[in-house]
Amino acid sequence: MTVIELTERMHAFVASKGWYEPDSPHPQTPRNLAASLAIESAEVLELFQWSDSCEPGALAEELADVMLYLLQLADLSGIDLTRAVLDKLRVNAGRAWDERQTENDD
């Protein structure tokens, strides 16, 4: 399944819950989606709070929540997430990470 197909399925789910309606108790604004994305990301971290491992099913559920909010935030903000990822990979390929180097090194 493609990112576009996942995004379409996510929108269909959100619409089926009425969350795109103007009077929704869960307004799907970029700010609210960004907050929800951060909260769900923290729930991923919480799974590892006291251990270096966690139950794979729980991790899969939290990662899916993160991805759904990410897809929705990107799409509602007019971001082509596939293009953004490819662009970022290209930028990162040209970067060097030297762990011995500090910000104050010239």
78 sits in the region (left: phi over 0; alpha: psi -120 to 50; else beta) called: left
Amino acid 35: pLDDT: 98
Does residue 99 form part of some domain?
Answer: no
Does residue 79 form part of some domain?
Answer: yes
Where residue 45 sits, what CATH number does that domain have?
Answer: 1.10.287.1080
**Long-range CB pairs of 41-45, under 8 A, 24+ apart, other chains included:** 41/66
Does residue 94 form part of some domain?
Answer: no
36 neighbors 69 (Cβ within 8 angstroms): yes
Does residue 17 form part of some domain?
Answer: yes
**pLDDT tens-digit map of 19-62:** 999 999 999 999 999 999 999 999 999 999 999 999 999 999 99
The total of structural domains in the chain comes to 1
Does residue 50 form part of some domain?
Answer: yes
- The domain in which residue 51 lies consists of 3-86
Does residue 100 form part of some domain?
Answer: no
Compute the distance between CA of residue 106 and CA of residue 103 in angstroms, rounded to an integer.
8
Amino acid 103: pLDDT: 54
